[in-house]
Amino acid sequence: MLRIASDTTPTSAPGWPLFDTAATRRIEQDYARQLPTHTLMQRAGLAVARLAMAIAPHAQRIWIACGPGNNGGDGFEAAAQLKALRPLSQVLVSEVRAPQHLPADAKASWLRAQAAGVQWVEQCPEYMGAQDLCIDALLGIGLQDKSTTKPNTDQRRLLQLLQQVQRSSCPVLCVDIASGLNADTGQYLTELAPTAVPEHHPSPRHTLALLTLHPGLFTSQGRDACGQVWWDDLGYSTWNAQTPAAAPAARLSTRPTSGSQPARPHSSHKGSYGDVVILGGEGLGHRGLSMTGAAWLAALTALHAGAGRVMLALLDAEHRTDQAISPWPEIMLRQPQAQDWHSATVVCGCGGGQAIEPWLPTVLQQAPRLVLDADALNAISQSASLAKLLCSRATRQQSAILTPHPLEAARLLKTDTQSVQADRLRAASALAQQFQCTALLKGSGTVIASPASTPWINSSGNALLARGGTGDVLAGLTGAIWATGCTAEQAAVQAAFRHGQLADEWPAHIPFSASVLAMHLG
C-alpha cells in the first residue's frame, strides 16, 4: 500500500509515476540546483524524522544505520532532527564510512548530528525492543552508485550493519528503499553477498521514498522487503517531470483507470456488455487429470464480473454428455466446432492441456479480442507458426492479452524463470514488443505492458492469491472487462487491480478459494 507523506496530488496522467534510478538522479540534480546548498538533504532528514515519530511515537531508542553515501547523509540528518524534536529519546547512530571520506552533503549532516548530541555506537544495541525503531539509511537507491565500492568503504562493515537491520526485532523504517534492493527491479543484489537476501522479515517494515517513487518498491521482492510504502516529494512535483530525460519507467495502478465502466444505463441490454467465450477445459489431460474446472472458473468469473453473455466451449471429447446441463444455467455450453469466434471476446487456454493446440490457428485468426492464458501460451511458445499468427494479429486490427506467470513468460521469451524475475518490467515489455500485444505478467507486483505505452505495476493483491484457480479467475475477469468496450491495456490494468483488491479486502471469517473469489466479483 502507498501512503502519501506530503500534499502531492495527481494533476495529469492516471497512475502514480515511477522513476528508475537514472531518472531519479537527473531529477535530484535538477532540483538541488534550484535550492540553497544542503537544503535537499535537510528536507529529506526532516521527512524521515517526522515519519519515524509517527511510526514509533513511544520509542525510547532510535538506532540509525548510516551508509557511505548520501543515503547515509539522510540518516545523519534524520538523527540531528530527531534529537532536536525528541531530546529525551536516545538517538543512536552506527556508520560505515569515516566522516572525512563522506560526500560533502553527508559530511555536513554528520557534523549536525554530532552537534545535536547524537550518540555513536558500534552496532545495534542488544536491548532494542519491539517498541523502539531502527532506521535503514545504508544504501537506498545508491546501491548501484560507484561510491559503495570505493576502496575506503568497509564492505564487511556494511554487510554487518545490513544483517542487523534485516534481523531487527523492532520496526524498521527504510530510507528510499530497503538496502540491498535494486530500485529498478525490486530484486536483491545477491552479488553484494548471499547473506544480504533475507528469508523473511521478523518485524514490521516501512519505507519512505524521497523525491520520487521507484518501480522496485512495488514488484518482485520489493513488496515484502519494503512493507508499507510512504512517499514525500520534498516539494518537487514529479507529476511535471515528463521530459525525455526524466520520463517515468512505469506507472503504479492504485485504482481503476479512466476506462472503467460507468453505472449501467436503464436502457442497456445484455448485448451492451459483450459476449465472452471460454475455450478450454480438457476432459482428461496427458497426466490423466480432468482440467475442466479451470474453464468453469473462468466462465463463472466472466458471469459474475458482468459480461452480457457467457459461453463455455469445453475441450472434453471423451465426456461430451457432461456438457448437457450447466450448474449455472446462465453459462451457455457450446461445442467448440459450432462456436462463431468472430464477434466475441475469447478467453483461451484455461485448463486446455494439449487439446487446445489444434484450436489455436482458428481463434488466433478469427477472434477480435483474445485473452491467452495457461496452455494456450505454452502451445504458442513451442510453435513458430502459432507465434507468427499471434504477431500478425496487430496488422489485422485484432488485439490480444497474454496472462503468463513467470514460467510461462520464460517459455515464450526462450529464457528461464530467474531471468524473468530478475527484471519483471523488462520481461513484460519484451513480451509486449515481441508479440505486439498487451502482456500481463502475473506475480508479486503484476506488470502490464503494451507496445507503445509506459508499463503499469499493479499495487493490489497478497499471498491469498497464491493458490490454484486464481489465474483462471483473472483470465475470465480480464475478458469480461474487455468485452464492455475498453482497450486491451485498460482491461488488463483494471482486471489486475480488481483481482488483487478483492484479496486485500477479503474478510478473515470467509474461507478463500478461487470459486468463492469469482462469485464475489459482483
If residue 297 lies in a helix (H) or strand (E), which one and from where to where? helix 292-304
Q: How many CA atoms, within 13 angstroms, populate the side-chain half-sphere of residue 456?
A: 28
In 3D space, the residue among 458, 409, 422 whose CA is nearest the CA of residue 182 turns out to be 422
Q: Which residues of 443-482 are buried (b: 16+ CB within 10 A; e: fewer)?
A: bbbbbbbbbeebbbbbbbbeeebeeebbbbbbbbbbbbbb
Phi first, then psi: what are they for 108, rounded to 5°? Answer: -60, -40
Phi first, then psi: what are they for 278, rounded to 5°? Answer: -100, 125
Task: Judge contact between 118 and 83, C-beta under 8 A.
Answer: yes
Cell of 186: 525490486
Annotated binding site for (6S)-NADPHX: 294, 349, 405, 472
Phi first, then psi: what are they for 407, rounded to 5°? Answer: -70, -45
| 202: alpha, beta or left? (left if phi > 0; alpha if psi -120 to 50) | alpha
Q: Which amino acid is at 313?
A: A
Q: Which amino acid is at 484?
A: T
Tell me which DSSP letter residue 342 carries.
S
Rg over alpha carbons for the chain, rounded to the nearest Å, is: 26
- Measured between alpha carbons, how far is 130 from 260 in angstroms, rounded to an integer? 43
Number of Cβ atoms within 10 Å of the Cβ of 361: 13
Cell of 93: 547512530
Annotated binding site: 294, 349, 405, 442-446, 471-472
Phi first, then psi: what are they for 25, rounded to 5°? Answer: -60, -40
- Measured between alpha carbons, how far is 245 from 24 in angstroms, rounded to an integer? 10
Grid cell 514490521 — which residue? Answer: 204
Cell of 232: 514525500
Cell of 35: 535550492
Q: How many CA atoms, within 13 angstroms, populate the side-chain half-sphere of residue 453?
A: 20
Annotated binding site for AMP: 442-446, 471
